[in-house]
Structure 1
Amino acid sequence: MKINNLTTRTLSGAVFVAILVSGIIIGYETYLLLMLIIIGLTLNEFFNIVKKSGVAPNFSLGLIAGLGTFISFFVFAFGGYQDVVYLAFPLLIYIGIFISELFRNKSNPFTNVAMTLLGVFYIAIPFSILNFLVFLQFSNLDGVIFDYYYILALFILVWTNDTFAYLTGMAIGKHKFFERISPKKTWEGIIGGIVFTAGMSVALFYLYPHVAPLGKLGFSGLTLQVWVGLGVVVSIFADLGDLVESMLKRSLGIKDSGNIIPGHGGMLDRFDAILLAAPAAFVYLMFMFNQL
């Protein structure tokens, strides 16, 4: 990698991380705004790249459905999980996507509907699930508390896996992991990512009581073993998320999903791991919460 490209990649990456972390930790207002921007840009990017295959996704209703899904999940979680009807609102938009295709006069109408809904399910729903990791409800607390620690930890674990899987693979990688989809991935890189991500989860466990809002209120959090398990789960599904996006790009014959982030590609390239890691982490944490 040339020095200029490395400098561009480093600077843009630092700005990207700073914006993301700041938007999460300042408060739920900036968190909401940040996520809506990310979902909107990522959905728009997804619809643009699938359009190259001859499909005509419904950009406007797809964006409304994606943003509406996140807002519905946000309101439901913010309100203390009191009224499930908020989660039903996006269904009306999903139905509208089918009906609108009657009037668009486009070829392959059901493929258009399928790709529009795929964008929502692939991108908007995983991001929407993050609301259940930031608005936490406990029997000894009145209502919910905005706790950024779990979502921030999720991003840190994904970044750790991505960084050390790459470095380990570059240093000692010999055995191909999934050559048909991603020729550069190796088993050594995958294992290195898991090991270092599990190690980062140990650091996050010890940091939690000193940083997280609930930690300051005396909430004990998860055990060390559960944190290590979370690191392993996130690492595995982050790699799978990367492979899924690589499969999408290969099927469309493109290298990057976009160029919005200099040196890093598009929004899908930056958040592909989160799209599978977030739902997997949520299911894992909910299961472990019930076991504690």
Structure 2
Amino acid sequence: MSNLVKRAIFGSLYVGLILAALLLREHLIYMVVFGIIAFLATWEWSNLVSTHRLFPLRRISDSIAAVYLFWATHEIADKGVEYSFFLIPYVGYLLYILVRSIYSERQAMPTDLAKVYFGQIYVGLFLSIANIFYTDAATSLILLTIFVAIWANDTGAYLAGSTLGRHKLFPSVSPKKSWEGFFGGLIAAVLSSGLLLGWEQCYLGILISIAATWGDLFESMVKRSVGVKDSGNIIPGHGGILDRIDSLLFTLPAVAFILWVIDTYQHLHLG
């Protein structure tokens, strides 16, 4: 089977699972799909930056912690802040990591500890922002738009870059990316955002395209620093889960922040 066929088949399966999780509005399907993503992405991050080299079981516990954070934030977003006590076990785990580090390899401890904590923020916390959009019926369409716009951005960037690409966007991090590809992706993201949300909100496509590009460049920088092409090989033809959601992990907090700023401004000046 050619690599192109693999990419098409497994890429379609990935997209299908995401759309099922978002459109069917079934709690179990949503939690299973995103729980698996949180687990695998955290595992791949740990493997990518070589944390817990001598203690692989700790990678499992870190990955489970990210899944728990996703579940806990979903419950809080769905039921209200009075359920914030669900975060107590997660905070306890973070404290346990600190104490555990005292008894770990002293030489590797500071670096590994920073990598573990960053992985929890980068994957667990940033991915959990999806719950803010998903549990609110009024904003669930925004979450769908984020995914669709990222996919449109990737497609537009590939088509424009492969046919028109001449000027390198960031050659030291990602030699294949070009400015022509970037603007092709931006146009595709704006169009998809406008079609799904209405043209008065198509500006989100610009934000999504920029954040998605930064997210992809960030992971490319990490992979280049450790000398690997992909974060994993769980998706044939596509690499790892982290390779699929690197753009999402930057886009979710960016969109949430901008919408919060807009909402705050409107309440202050119009309310």
Query: What residue is the counterpart of 1:265 in the other structure?
Result: 239
Asked whether the 8 Å contact 2:52–2:59 carries over to 1, the reply is no
Query: What residue is the counterpart of 2:223 in the other structure?
Result: 249
Q: Secondary structure of 1:262's partner?
A: coil
Shift of residue 64 of structure 1?
Answer: 3.4
Q: Give 1:60-79 correspondences, 5 Å limit.
A: 60-79=60-79
Unaligned runs of 5+ in 2: none
Shift of residue 60 of structure 1?
Answer: 3.7
Whether 2:123 is the aligned partner of 1:123: answer yes
Asked whether the 8 Å contact 1:76–1:87 carries over to 2, the reply is no
Shift of residue 32 of structure 1?
Answer: 1.3
Q: Secondary structure of 2:117's partner?
A: helix
Q: Supply the distance in 2 between the matched residues of 1:68 and 1:52 (Cα, whole angstroms).
A: 20
TM-score normalized with structure 2 length: 0.90
Shift of residue 29 of structure 1?
Answer: 2.2
Asked whether the 8 Å contact 2:69–2:87 carries over to 1, the reply is yes
Q: Supply the distance in 2 between the matched residues of 1:280 and 1:228 (Cα, whole angstroms).
A: 15
Q: Supply the distance in 2 between the matched residues of 1:288 and 1:87 (Cα, whole angstroms).
A: 28
Q: Give 1:18-167 correspondences, 5 Å limit.
A: 18-26=16-24, 27-51=26-50, 58-105=58-105, 107-136=107-136, 145=137, 148-167=140-159
Query: What residue is the counterpart of 1:17 in the other structure?
Result: 15
TM-score normalized with structure 1 length: 0.83
Q: Secondary structure of 2:49's partner?
A: helix
Asked whether the 8 Å contact 1:25–1:148 carries over to 2, the reply is no
Tell me the matched-pair count: 264
* Identity percentage of aligned residues: 33
Q: Secondary structure of 2:175's partner?
A: strand
Shift of residue 237 of structure 1?
Answer: 0.4
Q: Secondary structure of 1:39's partner?
A: helix
Shift of residue 93 of structure 1?
Answer: 1.3
Question: Deviations for 1:172-219, whole angstroms, at most 9, x for unmatched residues?
Answer: 11111101100111111111111121111111024xxxxxxxxxxxxx
Asked whether the 8 Å contact 1:53–1:252 carries over to 2, the reply is no
Q: Supply the distance in 1 between the matched residues of 2:54 and 2:119 (Cα, whole angstroms).
A: 13
Q: Supply the distance in 2 between the matched residues of 1:238 and 1:261 (Cα, whole angstroms).
A: 20
Q: Supply the distance in 1 between the matched residues of 2:27 and 2:38 (Cα, whole angstroms).
A: 16
Q: Supply the distance in 2 between the matched residues of 1:105 and 1:53 (Cα, whole angstroms).
A: 10
Query: What residue is the counterpart of 2:184 in the other structure?
Result: 192
Asked whether the 8 Å contact 1:178–1:185 carries over to 2, the reply is yes
Shift of residue 149 of structure 1?
Answer: 2.1
Query: What residue is the counterpart of 1:219 in the other structure?
Result: none
Q: Supply the distance in 2 between the matched residues of 1:191 and 1:254 (Cα, whole angstroms).
A: 27
Q: Supply the distance in 2 between the matched residues of 1:170 and 1:105 (Cα, whole angstroms).
A: 47
Asked whether the 8 Å contact 2:149–2:188 carries over to 1, the reply is no
Unaligned runs of 5+ in 1: 137-144, 207-223
Q: Supply the distance in 2 between the matched residues of 1:267 and 1:168 (Cα, whole angstroms).
A: 25
Query: What residue is the counterpart of 1:211 in the other structure?
Result: none
Q: Supply the distance in 2 between the matched residues of 1:130 and 1:286 (Cα, whole angstroms).
A: 14
Q: Supply the distance in 2 between the matched residues of 1:104 and 1:52 (Cα, whole angstroms).
A: 12
Query: What residue is the counterpart of 2:263 in the other structure?
Result: 289
Asked whether the 8 Å contact 2:51–2:116 carries over to 1, the reply is no
Distance 1:259 1:162, change over 3 A: same
Q: Secondary structure of 2:177's partner?
A: strand
